[in-house]
Amino acid sequence: MKALLFILVFLNLAQDSMAMECFEEHLDAAISSNRQRREIYSKISNSESRKISNSLIFAEKISRIYAKSLNLSLDKYRTAGIPILCLDFIEMSKAPKIETKLHAPRLKYSDIESVDIKELRSELSKQLKNEDYLGMVEYIENEISDKSKYGNYNCMLKHVLESLGRSSFLTPFYIEHANKLGLKSPRKLLNKYLRKNIFALKYSHSLDKKAAFLQERGITILCGDVPHIPIRLEYEMELSKY
């Protein structure tokens, strides 16, 4: 019985490891997923959603160029067993299925509390400048806990904030791991990555605003296209899956 349990646990870990998407692979999966979803949303919305889908896919393609450029810098860490920008993502296969039965939310986008995107980016930039990674995590957790802002709307912004929060949480672990192995600190590289995520918040927010008129009708574009990203995790446990 114990042997069977061990085998089942091992297989589960192996499946998780095989499913792991590093930065570039994650974007490839996102582009593929959103191309398929674009056609479904287009039918539901009478093509009104197409421009939003195209804008999202375009942003993912631009991000993929950056991801590919990082591979050379990241290879030495990943080869050494440090999964930089691999533990940061949740597989796109875990994104919810598109809801074709429309259920309009009770509130319109104009009824909910607005997001102060300028203040949001400014505060996170200050914390990053001070390398207060835990402060960034706590600030993001507090921000997205506001269901009045992040319920049926602002979903892409929430997704990027969750991603930023998870990477901020992981950054000290990556730095410490590299230090233990005597490798050059990835601090500068990781800080640059976090800065780019903060910069991306504005674009994400603009996509959310453009999609709101569809979401008001119950079309789940953006909100139903991304998996939930837990911000905190057990580094050593996740490391065993890499």
What length does the chain have? 242
- Using CA atoms, how far apart are residues 231 and 229, in angstroms rounded to an integer? 6
Could you say which residues of the chain have pLDDT below 50? 1-19
pLDDT at 99: 87
pLDDT at 100: 87
pLDDT at 215: 98
What contacts 109, CB < 8 A, 6 or more positions away? 153, 209, 212, 213, 215, 216
Q: What is the pLDDT of residues 191-239, one digit of tens each?
A: 999 999 999 999 999 999 999 999 999 999 999 999 999 999 999 999 9
Under DSSP, is residue 181 helix (H, G, I), strand (E, B) or coil?
Answer: coil
pLDDT at 20: 66
C-alpha dist (Å) from residue 21 to 10, 84, 93, 176, 209: 19, 11, 10, 22, 29
Helix, strand, coil shares of the chain, percent, nearest 5, are 65, 0, 35
